[in-house]
Amino acid sequence: MHRIHTTISQAGHLIQILPPKEGGAERLQNCELPTALCNDDRKYSIIPSVECAPMNHQDDPLNLNQRINQPTAYSLQPIASIHPTAIIHPSAEIGQGTKIGPYCVIGAGVVLGDECTLHNHVTIEGPSHIGSKNTFYPYGSIGQQTQDLKYRGEPTFLEIGNNNCFREFVTVNRATAPHEKTVIGHHGNFLAYAHIAHDCIVGDHVIFSNNGTLAGHVIVEDYAVIGGLSAVHQFCRIGQYAIVGGYTKIVQDVPCFMIADGNPAVVRGINQVGLERHHFSVSEIRDLREAYKIIYRGSLNTTQAVDVLQQQYPDSRLIKKLLEFIVSSKRGIVR
C-alpha cells in the first residue's frame, strides 16, 4: 500500500502532503489541513485505499475531509502523537504510533521505534537507536554522553531493543571509545533511579530495582535481577538468572543461577525460586544445588571444583553454562 509521507511543524502539526508517484493528487502538495486537524497534535500519513481518479478542475484541493471520507480516496492514519511543547531535532526519526509527551527533548541522531511512549520531561540524546514499544517515564535521561573522564567527544552510540520499561529518573549513557556502544536488550524493567553506565551490555528480561547501578563495561546476562541500592564495579559480569540482593556491593563476577548478597557480597545459594518460575526441571535444579555445594561449601578451590563438576556432570547444559562462566571470569567470582 502506497504511503504519502508528511512533515510536521514545530508545533507538531502536519503542514505538507507529498503526492504519490501516480494518480491525480498532485494538487494536494503544500496544502494545509483543515483547522480541526491542525489543532490535533499528531503526525499523519495519508494512505490511499484504492487507486484514486485524477482530480478535475472543479475539485477543491483544500477540501480534504470530503476526499478522505470517500472509501475510494484517502484515509487518515496517525503516525506519532507529539505534544506541542516537545522539542525534536530535525534529524531524529520517530516511529509510527509513538507518543511523545510534554516537554520531552529528542536530540540529534535519535532513532525511536514504533509504538514507544515518552511521558513528560524525558530526554533522549543520540546517536541512539531505540526499538519499538519502549516506555520512558518522567525525567529519564537516555543516551547522554559517558561520564568517563577519558571521553574526548568522539562519536559513540547507544542501542536499546524492544519492550523495555524505564521508570522515573533512569539514566543510560553512551559508550566512551570511538564507535563503541552501550547495549540494552529486550523486555527489561528498569525501576526509578537505575543507572547504566558507558559500554555496558545488558541482556533480555532483566530487572533493575530502584537505584540499581552499573559502572562502566559491566555485562548483565538474560533474566538477571539487580536489587535496590546495589552497585556493580566496572568490568564485572552478572550471570544469567542470577540475583544481586539489595544494598549489595559487587566487585567480582556473580555466576549464573546464583544469589549474591551483602557487603562484601557473598553467594548465598542458587536462585531456586527464579529457576522454578522459569520452568527448569527438578533434576536440573537439583544438579545446580549440588554444584553450589561443591563450589562454595566444600574444601576445594575454584579450579578443583570445576574439574570435579566437569567429570560428574558432562551432559548437564546448566552445569556446562555455569562452568563456562566461571572459567572465562577475568576478575574472579564472588565467593
Distance of alpha carbon 324 from alpha carbon 255, whole angstroms: 10
User: Is the preceding omega at residue 127 within 30 degrees of 0, hence cis?
Assistant: yes
Catalytic, out of 41, 199, 253, 261: 199
Is-contact 193 208, C-beta < 8 A?
no
Q: Return d(Cα 195, Cα 212) in angstroms, integer.
A: 6
Per-residue DSSP letters for 11-38? TS-EEEEPPPSSSS-GGGTTPPPPHHHH
As a whole number of angstroms, the distance between CA 329 and CA 261 comes to: 19
198 assigned to active site: yes
Cell of 244: 544481586
- How would you classify the pairing of strands 258-261 and 266-270? antiparallel
Distance CA 53, CA 182 (A): 51
Q: Which of 113, 131, 216, 228 is catalytic?
A: 216
Q: Which of 198, 203, 245, 287 is catalytic?
A: 198
Residue count of the chain: 335
**Known catalytic membership, residue 278:** no
Instruction: Report yes or no: 88 and 106 within 8 Å, Cβ to Cβ.
Output: yes
199 catalytic per annotation: yes
Paired residues of 172 in beta bridges: 142, 196
Residues contacting 209, CB < 8 A, separation 6+: 191, 194, 225, 226, 227, 228, 229, 230, 246
Which residues are annotated as catalytic? 198-199, 216
